Structure 1
Amino acid sequence: MTRYISLLSAQPELLKGIQHGIEKESLRISPDGKLSQESHPSGLGSALTNSLVTTDFAESLVEFITPVSDNIDETLGQLADLHRFAYQQMGSELLWPLSMPCFVGGEADIRIAEYGDSNIGKMKTLYRKGLHHRYGSVMQVIAGVHFNFSLPAHFWQQWHQWQAGAESLQQSQSAGYLAMLRNYRRLGWLVPYLFGASPALCGSFLQQKNSALPFEKMGQGTYYLPYATSLRMSDLGYTNRAQARLQVDYNSLTGYLASVDRALHTPEPRFAKIGVKVDGEYRQLNSNLLQIENELYAPIRPKRVAESGEKPSEALARGGIEYIEVRALDVSPFHQTGVSADEIRFLDVMLVYCLLQESPVLDCDGLSEATRNITTTVLYGRDPNAQVEVSGQLVGLKVRAMQLLSEMRAVAEVMDKAAGGYDYQAALAKQLAKVEDPDLTPSARLLNEMQQRSMDNGCLGMHYAESHKAELLAQQGSNFYSDDALQKVAQLSVEAQKEIESESSVDFEQFLADYFA
């Protein structure tokens, strides 16, 4: 890494123009804290075609999407505007400010998202029905924040020259992103330690699961693990055990695409028992390990913007890796939009660090070690005796975290040179403080606040939900999007859905056959 730091110190402008995008999920809840049974608000437009506000698995699971931007303040301003606009369309409803769901009565209380009568809309809904049958709906309404990251084109042009290899610029860029991704898998346990905000959950969620974990009870119905950081990323959360035997290859783009393709065409006996079409009604798209590529549950994925009608893997094969999607972030109740500037800046530093560090091949043993480290951190990360594995050797979690964050300081200094100021170093310093004092982590802060206020997880969630809504609606003016602009986007999305539905000419069965062909 020393060589690259020296080169970047001489040309810090290469790190100007790092681009971000945020996809943030939130459950709509009624004023009494229960999951909303209402349809996606009509004022938000079409969930099928609105590029800024849509739904994920359920009608009640709103997803806010910011456009790509190289300005962090702009991205967070856009996210705030989208939240405020949603509140205006939701009446008395609130947005649940935590990743783990609010009070959920049962599977039947979760309405699968609906996308209209077009073939693509029906396919999106059927895919979610498949998820329901495979994993249950309760798991699918766990919310998270997805962080999209890309380095600017001028960086990759210089990077290509530094590699002095015979491969093309596109191949060099893809190889660089994969190197970043492999190291992120090795070090990804840092993220739930620093930003995990789901150490506790509602008893109604736990009733849906069979867990042998040593939960402790607080108040009327809150269950928690004393040292947990992110139950969202545990086996109780958003995981897919059927994929445990799927070994994704992160060592080359060809290998990655081949391993994903293999999963798309590997029959899964458990899913075959569900049936694909039973008594004339579809239950899932197919009975393979993955119905479609989106079903691959991974904490980080290589991505490229797909052209119309193009599958994600086809886009990657055509143009190489364009950006990285980090999917390991909990929704933070301490911020109105669930994510902070410090979090974004730290992830910038961490991802650049992962690129600049040597990144050897990640084999099955390495992936298993990474998974074990994540499990340790999400369940017991704040335990003073917690340990992580480093190439098969156990090291104190705190010792290893301090070492890594100290090494990242050189990256933060170069990034501050590029941006001007000390924001990246300041963000890194705040994360170092969390390692030195685990009580500063979001997970510890939440548990401490529940205990000090004698509040259940649900009551504290309602407190933050109500205050976030009041604060955003009280703000004067917009940050980036005016209300009129967002209303126009919503109206145009409704018209776009109608146009798609009017153009559907083949029957749904033929549409699916053509898609999978």
Structure 2
Amino acid sequence: MLEELQKMAVTTLLHLKTGKELMWPFSNPPYVLGEKDIPIASYEGVLRGKELYREYLAGKYGKRKMLFSGIHFNFSFSEKILEEGYRNSTFASLQKYKNQIYLELAKKVTKCSWLIVYLTAASPVMDGSFFHDEDLGKVVLKNLASPRCSKIGYWNDFDPLLDYENLQSYVKSIESYVAQGQLKEAAELYYPVRLKPKGENTLERLKNYGVDHIELRMLDLNPLEPVGIRREDLKFLHLFILYLMSQEDRDFLPFEQVMALKNTKRAAKYAEDGIWIETGWNSAMPVKQAALHVLASMKRFFQRIGKQELMEIIYFQEQKIFCPNNRYAVQIKSMFEKDYVKREIELAEQHARVLTDMK
């Protein structure tokens, strides 16, 4: 996966080189010369609706939020594993079994998305022009490790409640928000996890053809890495998904769904002492304690396999908790709080040299 990212990054850089452009390595934009300086993507013909949709988003959420960027992590189980699970199930078809597996996984990942945000947040520094035109060039620290995942990020203006009973009820719950006018279309559902069909991502295809994979949407670009993410974090996400699927499937009640979104936004804060994770009705614990609890449970699960490599992947994440300086947000704040844009451009140039040397 990382090698494919490297190939795409090199191809992009070689194309940009003719225009003397670079790939910005941060999830936060460099600076904003006012909203008029932010173009809407242009489409023609049958795709004209995409442009109109983006104009709608700009009017509702503001163009500035459209400048946030991140990594979307797509995951699917191998067909061999799914077929074996289906043979031991009572589902009427393989696709119905797959739908239920991915619905179950979506619930569990959404509930624990706060942990992924806490361990991978990497955007504590912003340019003041994101908030006010007159503050262009002023470095701003908002006590946020990941602004895009925080309360100031790209979220709906209500807490969506989804029905995970089966795929049809899940799709219907999203369609109801569109029918009520709370969403323009399904793509406006800004949620940590999406269930996606193969091919074009529409609710109609999802309903008719079923789930092909899930998409995790809460990962910041890591500017310390040329391709935006560390190999250790990719491996951890894989292990985390396998671990979650081993856990008992439970209902994802409405109050738990609201709680999951609140926890995700809280985990995006910079100061750990101010982060409390709700773990149930009227119960909460500090984020460090909550994170170590999950990682300890993961270690117990994977110790059965007996591979030291798996323990090392979890240990890498634990060190971000035991040693705060290992958190990406802490490292990046120290590196870029003096001159955010200039130093990021230098880093982008460095990444470009590293990547193009790989071709």
**TM-score past 0.5 threshold:** yes
Q: Give the counterpart of 1:303 among 196, 206, 211.
A: 196
8 Å contact from structure 1 (residues 192, 377) kept in 2: yes
Letter in 2 for 1:223: V
- What residue ranges of structure 2 are gaps of 5+ in the alignment? none
Query: What value does the CA root-mean-square deviation take over the aligned residues?
Result: 2.4
Q: Does 1:154 align with 2:80?
A: yes
Distance in 1 (alpha carbons) for counterparts of 2:164 and 2:11:
35
Residue by residue over 1:263-295, the C-alpha shift from the partner in whole angstroms, topping out at 9 and shown as x without a partner, is: 22213xxxxxxxxxxxxxxxxxxxxx2222212
Return closer, same or farther for 1:457/1:324 CA change in 2, 3 Å cut-off: same
Query: Helix, strand or coil: the match of 1:104?
Result: coil
Match of 2:45 in 1: 118
Q: Does 1:88 align with 2:17?
A: yes
8 Å contact from structure 2 (residues 198, 211) kept in 1: no
- 1:166 CA drift (Å): 4.2
Identity, in percent, stands at 27
Residue by residue over 1:198-244, the C-alpha shift from the partner in whole angstroms, topping out at 9 and shown as x without a partner, is: 12211000227xxxxxxxx9x96111144x32111112222221xx1
Return closer, same or farther for 1:446/1:74 CA change in 2, 3 Å cut-off: closer
Distance in 2 (alpha carbons) for counterparts of 1:82 and 1:413:
40
1:393-412 matches, within 5 Å, as 393-409=283-299
- 1:442 CA drift (Å): 0.7
Distance in 1 (alpha carbons) for counterparts of 2:279 and 2:231:
30
1:15-34 matches, within 5 Å, as none
Match of 1:75 in 2: 4
Letter in 1 for 2:131: L
Match of 2:312 in 1: 426
Distance in 2 (alpha carbons) for counterparts of 1:129 and 1:87:
26
With a CA cutoff of 8 Å and minimum separation of 6, indicate the structure with the bigger relative contact order: 2
Letter in 2 for 1:75: E
- 1:82 CA drift (Å): 3.1
Distance in 2 (alpha carbons) for counterparts of 1:136 and 1:416:
51
Match of 1:222 in 2: 139
Distance in 1 (alpha carbons) for counterparts of 2:49 and 2:101:
34
- 1:251 CA drift (Å): 3.5
Match of 1:180 in 2: 105
Return closer, same or farther for 1:415/1:445 CA change in 2, 3 Å cut-off: farther
Q: TM-score, normalised by structure 2?
A: 0.91
Match of 1:247 in 2: 161
Distance in 1 (alpha carbons) for counterparts of 2:115 and 2:211:
24
Distance in 1 (alpha carbons) for counterparts of 2:332 and 2:37:
27
Distance in 1 (alpha carbons) for counterparts of 2:347 and 2:304:
37
Query: Helix, strand or coil: the match of 1:379?
Result: coil
Letter in 2 for 1:238: Y
Distance in 2 (alpha carbons) for counterparts of 1:76 and 1:191:
20
Q: Give the counterpart of 1:462 among 331, 345, 348.
A: 345
Rg bigger for which structure? 1
Return closer, same or farther for 1:245/1:386 CA change in 2, 3 Å cut-off: closer
8 Å contact from structure 1 (residues 349, 411) kept in 2: no
Match of 2:232 in 1: 342
Distance in 2 (alpha carbons) for counterparts of 1:334 and 1:207:
27
- 1:348 CA drift (Å): 0.8
Return closer, same or farther for 1:146/1:412 CA change in 2, 3 Å cut-off: farther
Distance in 1 (alpha carbons) for counterparts of 2:345 and 2:298:
37
Distance in 1 (alpha carbons) for counterparts of 2:14 and 2:77:
31
Q: Does 1:194 align with 2:114?
A: no
Q: Give the counterpart of 2:54 among 128, 132, 136.
A: 128
Match of 1:492 in 2: none
Letter in 1 for 2:277: V
Residue by residue over 1:106-154, the C-alpha shift from the partner in whole angstroms, topping out at 9 and shown as x without a partner, is: 1100111112x3222x112111111111111111111111111101011
8 Å contact from structure 1 (residues 177, 355) kept in 2: no
